Amino acid sequence: MLESMARDVLVDLGERSYTIDIGLSLLANAGSTCSGLGLSGKCLIVSDSDVGERYGENLHTALSAAGIDARFVAVPSGENSKSHEQLLALYHAALEHGLDRSSFVVALGGGVVGDLAGYLAATYLRGIRYIQIPTTIVSMVDSAVGGKTGINMPEGKNLIGAFWQPHAVIADLETLATLPDREYRSGLAEVVKYGVIADAELFDRLEIQAADVLARDPGLLEEIVARSCEIKADVVRDDEREGGLRAILNYGHTVGHAIEKVASYGTFLHGEAIAVGMVFAAEVSARRVGLQAESVKRIRALLAAFGLPGTATGCAWSAVRETIRVDKKSVASNPRFVLAESIGRAQFGCEVEEKLLEEIWNGLGK
């Protein structure tokens, strides 16, 4: 029986601790899961048009069966919905449904829905509880865990937000069956990232079982999602508000974010851009912190096996460099890099001289 599979990962944050449930058929049981967590009364299910159409009714039925008075709202799918316009519409929906301080929000979807609905929960009546039900690889292994919520501004991504931890995360692996192939592969970039920064064994496993990963083998998915969540949970536990260690999760992201922007958002999916960023960081690591040439090769090969790019032809270094300069995470405009000493071990806050950065960028496709 499929139902026998399930695994829990604890995000240990004192009184803000919560569990990530990972397994199959979890959506259908979400009502009893919520009841078990002491969640009852009214809730607002926030989803997007694509995910809502597929799983909204299922979830609504499950919550209703547990006596929860759930109202369903869907925003258009896509990054543009992480906006103050959509947020305002959600506040109205929450008020109209009569959500009070004992009510809760459920985010059903990828990172867009999770960030938006999480921020709704963080700010509605000065903060109410919420549950994350992630349906993409990115959201299962990254955005649903750690409590970063927020919306975009015309001036840039994620500029308005709050740290607000969910009450629980329910990752039903069955939902991944309908995730478009490109989104799925893009999400795997984050899993590769966890291998590079913290877990050589995870990396080996992805290499050996790349074909099964791409075939979305449920048992294997459970393993790799759980391991990724454990790594993120450990980092978040030690540095909830990104004072230091949490920066390690940005491996490949300094350059990756810039590529997304320079190529104009949407050309590269996030995971595709950070795949290039990870190859770049691996090359820098080889020159600066002793990452072996063989390991650089393995990182390139694994990303390629997942159909992810290793170069961003068409993005000039000058444009990428300028974009990094204005990035909110740069320290006094000086980019700091996360570099890997070996697969499974990384350090953050590394400064790298300009000439080397440019040289490596220009050599990426060669």
Q: Which residues are catalytic?
A: 126, 148, 190, 232, 242, 246, 250, 253, 257, 270
- Give me the residues paired with residue 108 across strands: 47, 133
Minimum CB separation from ligand NAD for residue 78, in Å?
Answer: 6
Nearer to ligand NAD, 33 or 186 (CB): 186
Q: Quote the CA–CA distance of 347 and 349 in Å, as a whole number.
A: 7
Q: What are the CA-CA distances from residue 112 to residues 3, 126, 291 (Å)? A: 28, 21, 34
List interacting residues with ligand NAD (CB under 6 A): 48, 50-51, 54, 77-79, 82, 109-113, 115, 135-136, 138-139, 142-143, 146, 148, 157-158, 175, 178-179, 183, 270
Minimum CB separation from ligand NAD for residue 50, in Å?
Answer: 3
- Give me the residues paired with residue 8 across strands: 21
Q: What are the CA-CA distances from residue 8 to residues 94, 225, 226, 234 (Å)? A: 30, 11, 8, 14
Minimum CB separation from ligand NAD for residue 25, in Å?
Answer: 15
Nearer to ligand NAD, 273 or 299 (CB): 273
Q: Quote the CA–CA distance of 189 and 84 in Å, as a whole number.
A: 29
- Give me the residues paired with residue 316 across strands: none
Minimum CB separation from ligand NAD for residue 231, in Å?
Answer: 14
Q: What residue type is 13 in one-letter code? A: L
Nearer to ligand NAD, 139 or 285 (CB): 139
Minimum CB separation from ligand NAD for residue 254, in Å?
Answer: 15
Nearer to ligand NAD, 281 or 357 (CB): 281
Cα 215 from chain centroid (whole Å) = 21
Nearer to ligand NAD, 145 or 339 (CB): 145
Q: Quote the CA–CA distance of 343 and 321 in Å, as a whole number.
A: 26
Nearer to ligand NAD, 232 or 300 (CB): 232
Q: What are the CA-CA distances from residue 160 to residues 66, 225, 251 (Å)? A: 35, 28, 23
Minimum CB separation from ligand NAD for residue 156, in Å?
Answer: 11
Q: Are β-strands 104-109 and 156-163 bridged in parallel, bridged antiparallel, or unpaired?
A: unpaired
Q: Which two tokens stand for residue 141?
A: 């292994």
Q: Is there a contact between 271 and 189 (Cβ–Cβ < 8 Å)?
A: yes
Q: Residues near 150 by Cβ (< 8 Å), separated by ≥ 6?
A: 82, 115, 118, 119, 158, 159, 160, 161, 162
Q: Residues near 4 by Cβ (< 8 Å), separated by ≥ 6?
A: none
* Coil, helix or strand at residue 85: helix
Nearer to ligand NAD, 260 or 283 (CB): 260
Place of tokens 């740069």: 330
- Give me the residues paired with residue 346 across strands: 340
Minimum CB separation from ligand NAD for residue 158, in Å?
Answer: 6
